[in-house]
């Protein structure tokens, strides 16, 4: 009886807690021009559980007429919402009239309201990846990680002069989520970081040094590998003891820590920070874009705060946006900035930070500002040009 009483009390408290959560009813109405009507079901996909946590076929709309669809969803008051519409998969998502993949739609839940959209086109009808590949890419498929006991593709970008100047050696930038770095055909939602175009342009203008860029494809274990877990520590071991020795042996690199950098976005930004913070003798620089410093209740912030050793000989770039999911990262961005400054890092010397209130959490947003970390990590001093 006592156990039953406690269970009833617990459930009652749970119900009271749930009833305290304020919600608003949002009605989404989608109109599809007659020329784009198909027999498929329409779905909404977004950044909260009620919108399927970005699953493209989890939350269906109801068909009202031949070309009009609707769904009513209760969302938490003041929640920041991002979403898109699909026909069941990301290969069938909506696109703009010219085939361009749009940024996520977003709003903040403030009241009961109706939001109307008109589909302009579908990805599977008109989409072709924008851009191509600039420079030389070398692929190493099925690259084995000893401690992780898994395989992935490694892609290496070479600057234009690499195969003509055989005496020169180059700094190396290792980038996580490598499938998103160079090629729109392999990247998430068909939008890549355009690191090849950006680096090539900056090298030719003399803005940065010639560098090699190593793209490390992710795996289904991405979240665990990009965080401070057993797999995350094994992933860092893979980069240090499997991948870096291979790159240094097969390409003309400058292998010292000063010329070795890591870069990534979101969870990739987090693991880049861990690499440079924990292995400064191997990685001297890191670029952390829209980093998930909030992971595990801000564990990385606590690690930096509790560090009592000598100032690390490293250089760090990090940034953040202000739209949608990026808004949740802003407090952690500021906390990391203040922690590093308090530990002796100086802006413009071994620390660079940037905030763009209009930027979202996407490959397109990171592509627009990728030049910033490149300039900070590998920028050419104006005096050196003279």
pLDDT in tens, 348-380: 999 999 999 989 888 989 999 999 999 999 999
Considering only residues 377 and 126, tell me which one the structure prediction assigns the higher pLDDT.
377
Which of 13-17, 138-142, 355-359 shows the lowest mean pLDDT across its residues?
13-17
Residue 7 has pLDDT above 50, yes or no: no
Reported as a pLDDT band with limits 50, 70 and 90, residue 9 is very low
* Of residues 267, 243, 176, 159, the one with CA closest to residue 215: 176
Residue 138: its H or E element: strand 136-145
Q: What is the pLDDT of residues 275-297, one digit of tens each?
A: 999 999 999 999 999 999 999 99
Given this model, what pLDDT does residue 128 score?
A: 56
Q: Which domains does the chain have, with CATH numbers?
A: 20-126 (2.60.40.10), 136-385 (3.40.50.1820)
* Of residues 374, 340, 35, the one with CA closest to residue 200: 374
Given this model, what pLDDT does residue 130 score?
A: 56
Residue 190 has pLDDT above 80, yes or no: no
Considering only residues 16 and 271, tell me which one the structure prediction assigns the higher pLDDT.
271
Tokens of 86: 């699909």
Query: Parallel, antiparallel, or unpaired for β 260-265 and 285-289?
Result: parallel
Given this model, what pLDDT does residue 385 score?
A: 52
Tokens of 250: 């097969």
């Amino acid at each position: 009886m006592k156990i039953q009483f406690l269970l009833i009390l617990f459930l009652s408290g749970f119900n009271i807690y749930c009833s305290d959560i304020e919600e608003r009813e949002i009605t989404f109405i989608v109109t599809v021009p007659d020329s784009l009507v198909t027999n498929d079901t329409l779905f909404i996909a977004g950044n909260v559980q009620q919108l399927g946590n970005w699953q493209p076929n989890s939350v269906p709309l109801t068909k009202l007429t031949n070309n009009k669809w609707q769904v009513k969803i209760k969302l938490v008051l003041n929640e920041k919402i991002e979403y898109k519409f699909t026909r069941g998969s990301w290969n069938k998502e909506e696109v703009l009239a010219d085939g361009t993949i749009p940024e996520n739609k977003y709003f903040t839940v403030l009241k009961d309201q109706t939001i109307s959209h008109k589909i302009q086109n579908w990805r599977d009808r008109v989409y072709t990846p924008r851009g191509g590949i600039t420079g030389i890419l070398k692929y190493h498929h099925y690259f084995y990680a000893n401690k992780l006991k898994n395989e992935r593709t490694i892609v290496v970008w070479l600057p234009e002069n690499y195969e003509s100047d055989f005496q020169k050696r180059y700094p190396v930038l290792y980038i996580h989520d490598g499938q998103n770095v160079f090629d729109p055909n392999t990247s998430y939602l068909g939008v890549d970081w355009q690191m090849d175009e950006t680096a090539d342009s900056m090298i030719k203008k003399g803005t940065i040094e010639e560098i090699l860029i190593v793209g490390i494809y992710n795996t289904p274990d991405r979240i665990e590998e990009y965080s401070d877990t057993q797999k995350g520590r094994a992933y860092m071991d893979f980069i240090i003891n499997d991948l870096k020795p291979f790159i240094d042996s097969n390409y003309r690199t400058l292998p010292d820590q000063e010329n070795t950098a890591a870069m990534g976005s979101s969870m990739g930004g987090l693991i880049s920070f861990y690499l440079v913070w924990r292995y400064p003798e191997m990685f001297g620089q890191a670029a952390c874009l829209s980093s998930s410093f909030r992971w595990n209740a801000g564990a990385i912030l606590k690690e930096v705060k509790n560090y009592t050793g000598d100032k690390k000989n490293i250089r760090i770039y990090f940034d953040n946006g202000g739209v949608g999911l990026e808004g949740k990262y802003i407090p952690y961005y500021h906390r990391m900035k203040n922690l590093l400054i308090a530990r002796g890092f100086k802006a413009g010397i071994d620390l660079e930070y940037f905030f763009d209130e209009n930027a979202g959490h996407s490959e397109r947003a990171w592509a627009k500002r990728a030049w910033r970390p490149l300039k900070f990590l590998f920028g050419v001093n104006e005096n050196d040009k003279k």
